[in-house]
Chain A
């Protein structure tokens, strides 16, 4: 390692001093609860009496007792929740990315009233999830909902659909509401990326008479890709811990349960802080693993 100059050392010290308050706050508000959750995952703590608990090792994850296995890792409900969450995240984030990209391209063009449209498109993102979930719950209601009413007036359906009741349609209802809500977020992030693109490439393409579709795939997409990947990773992190939409909108049966809903049920409904913390820890690990995969996959494509 090259010897550092005095100036570099002074700068490094200043950097650490400026970073310190943020790091301390981060440890307090993020590190401490995370560490506590991981620790409780190794105990038999119960919500009814949090002052008495014992260390039980990995028993919450997997334990053999009386010839049978117990623990989160062999709980079919948990694996079903994992599958539900991953399926939800992949489908909804894919839709949001494509739609967000389209919206961003539209907003990047110059047209009359662009400022108003930009502000208006953010409204779904600004509404608290719990409020939009309740709102959509009423709109999707099988007897009184406006969606069924409109569809039957258009003659598309003969009898009302119970969107949120059947686990098959309920998951699609959740995806639809999530896409409605977070496409603006994707659009905003991608738009920021689009506006930083150099204009000379486009001028050159125009002079050479390249077809706009080819320009999009050969110029715009590769250049904006890093911004898209950042947006996808942000959304993925968010989507994997989905809770409120599913909790409010669906019947909360095992058919639509997400990992967060599972962890909450163990922790609060069943008062089992140990199992709930173990599930939360697994959720954390799964999110971390998928994030790494996405960062890796995203970089590989950038270098293409």
Chain B
């Protein structure tokens, strides 16, 4: 009788002991630090640590995606096991996929609740190399109070935006704010400019640089029209410094109350409405304008995924952290607290999420139909393509080349990069 009872108890105690021993590890995760990303990543990871008894080390990385990729490539090429969980950009699964473990073993089908396109994007050679964490698309921020003051409605086309921005800028400067600008965006020569410029081109119907078949399509009259329009902004309705602005520099100008319009990602919503923000309650979000009457509203697909390094010494614990952070509950918390777009479809109908971030509902079509950068078709050469593109656009914005000449040159550069095949 006693034996019957003792044996299973002893087995249970031993099992518990081994579980606890196997699990108490330190997992390091690299999070972005744009806006409030680092804080919300930390709180999420610490909740997981408290729940599982593990410890978490959060490593902060450069704000610029271009620099972050460079850092990751150096770490991973050296087979370093220092970081277990990597936060990776939507364009990187093709470039970095070989360094990550297949998460299917740990996800147990959880990816089916996420946007199908993103899961496909994160699947390389049949392996699920990363779990979707949050998605993004470029959106237009505007000052409700100023549009009202000048009797304007939300601009439907870029031409309207240009005129409205000029009107507000002239008015505000005459009223005494010499530092006021109409429009801020990301004009620095880096990946962010590729996102912004792709939106301009796509909104005019100028395609997506390299089409799905791999043909170089960027040298077309619609794209010329789009970039010519953009080139009229710096120094007129946008500060010339925009040519060296990334996301956070643009947000700095807009959130301090010195700009009427801003192109940025959804994360800026929660920060713009935070308690210490000078523009709290005065801002709203709309889809980016169309490129003319026949154009379309668009936004470049962004977003970040979580992947587990195959050089990690604690793969199971790291994968468990990934599944926790990408879970419905955590994505909901991130959406409500910091306006990060969930990748779980059903959260876009959740009343609490919609109450916190109203534009998630109204811009659902924009998020679902966002234009993707040609990273899948160009594969490992994507960085070169993107770099050639942002440099060509930067030349146009700085006035060193006309859109027509720059795109013709870009066409030649892309052909050199392609060299027959991608």
List chain A positions with a Cβ less than 8 A from chain B. 46-50, 65-66, 68, 70, 77, 141-144, 160-162, 164-167, 170, 250-255, 265, 268-271
Which of A65, A68, A164, A166 interacts with B398 by CB under 8 Å? A166
Residues 204-241 of chain B: 1 if any A CB is under 8 Å from the residue's CB, otherwise 0? 00000000000000000000000000000000000111
* Cβ contacts under 8 Å, B69 to chain A: 269
Say yes or no for B66: interface residue by CB 8 A criterion.
Answer: yes
Nearest chain B CB to A40's CB is how many angstroms away? Answer: 13
**CB nearest to B71 among chain A residues:** A268
Q: Quick one: given A47-B73, A65-B419, are A265 and B387 in contact (CB under 8 Å)?
A: yes
List chain B positions with a Cβ less than 8 A from chain A. 66, 69-70, 73-74, 77, 95, 98, 179, 187-190, 239-245, 252-253, 258, 380, 383-384, 387, 390-391, 394-395, 398, 400, 416, 419-420
B387 close to A47 (CB less than 8 A): no
Which of A144, A170, A251, A270 interacts with B384 by CB under 8 Å? A270
A166 close to B239 (CB less than 8 A): no
B394 close to A255 (CB less than 8 A): yes
A48 close to B258 (CB less than 8 A): no
A253 close to B241 (CB less than 8 A): no
Nearest chain B CB to A199's CB is how many angstroms away? Answer: 52
* Cβ contacts under 8 Å, A47 to chain B: 73, 77
The 9 A-B pairs at the shortest CB distance, nearest first, are namely A142-B241, A253-B189, A165-B243, A162-B241, A162-B240, A165-B244, A253-B394, A251-B189, A268-B70
Counted as pairs of residues, one from A and one from B, with CB atoms less than 8 Å apart, the total is 95
* Cβ contacts under 8 Å, A164 to chain B: 241, 244
* Cβ contacts under 8 Å, A251 to chain B: 187-190, 243-244, 394
In the assembled complex, the Cα of A170 lies from the Cα of B394 at a distance in Å of 14
B77 close to A141 (CB less than 8 A): no
B73 close to A268 (CB less than 8 A): yes
Q: Quick one: given A269-B66, A269-B70, are A70 and B241 in contact (CB under 8 Å)?
A: no
B244 close to A250 (CB less than 8 A): yes
In the assembled complex, the Cα of A287 lies from the Cα of B16 at a distance in Å of 65
In the assembled complex, the Cα of A215 lies from the Cα of B391 at a distance in Å of 53
In the assembled complex, the Cα of A268 lies from the Cα of B62 at a distance in Å of 15
In the assembled complex, the Cα of A66 lies from the Cα of B416 at a distance in Å of 11
Can you list 7 residue pairs at the A/B interface with Cβ under 8 Å?
Answer: A167-B398, A253-B390, A255-B394, A269-B70, A269-B387, A270-B383, A271-B73
In the assembled complex, the Cα of A265 lies from the Cα of B419 at a distance in Å of 19
A48 close to B395 (CB less than 8 A): no
Which of B98, B189, B245, B258 interacts with A252 by CB under 8 Å? B189
B244 close to A48 (CB less than 8 A): no
In the assembled complex, the Cα of A4 lies from the Cα of B123 at a distance in Å of 75
In the assembled complex, the Cα of A142 lies from the Cα of B250 at a distance in Å of 12
In the assembled complex, the Cα of A147 lies from the Cα of B245 at a distance in Å of 18
A166 close to B74 (CB less than 8 A): no
Q: Quick one: given A47-B73, A48-B77, A66-B420, are A141 and B189 in contact (CB under 8 Å)?
A: no
Q: Quick one: given A251-B189, A251-B190, are A143 and B244 in contact (CB under 8 Å)?
A: no
* Cβ contacts under 8 Å, B98 to chain A: 48-49
* Cβ contacts under 8 Å, A46 to chain B: 380
B398 close to A255 (CB less than 8 A): yes
B241 close to A165 (CB less than 8 A): yes
B244 close to A162 (CB less than 8 A): yes
Nearest chain A CB to B419's CB is how many angstroms away? Answer: 7
In the assembled complex, the Cα of A265 lies from the Cα of B74 at a distance in Å of 13
* Cβ contacts under 8 Å, A65 to chain B: 419
A252 close to B419 (CB less than 8 A): no
**CB nearest to A170 among chain B residues:** B244
Which of B240, B245, B384, B416 interacts with A166 by CB under 8 Å? B240
* Cβ contacts under 8 Å, A143 to chain B: 179, 239, 241, 252-253, 258
**CB nearest to B190 among chain A residues:** A252
* Cβ contacts under 8 Å, B74 to chain A: 268
Q: Quick one: given A252-B189, A253-B391, are A167 and B416 in contact (CB under 8 Å)?
A: no
* Cβ contacts under 8 Å, A270 to chain B: 383-384, 387
Nearest chain B CB to A220's CB is how many angstroms away? Answer: 43
B383 close to A165 (CB less than 8 A): no
Nearest chain A CB to B395's CB is how many angstroms away? Answer: 7
In the assembled complex, the Cα of A46 lies from the Cα of B381 at a distance in Å of 12
* Cβ contacts under 8 Å, B243 to chain A: 162, 165-166, 251
* Cβ contacts under 8 Å, A254 to chain B: 189, 391, 394-395
Nearest chain B CB to A156's CB is how many angstroms away? Answer: 15
* Cβ contacts under 8 Å, A50 to chain B: 77
B241 close to A141 (CB less than 8 A): yes
In the assembled complex, the Cα of A270 lies from the Cα of B66 at a distance in Å of 11
Nearest chain B CB to A240's CB is how many angstroms away? Answer: 22
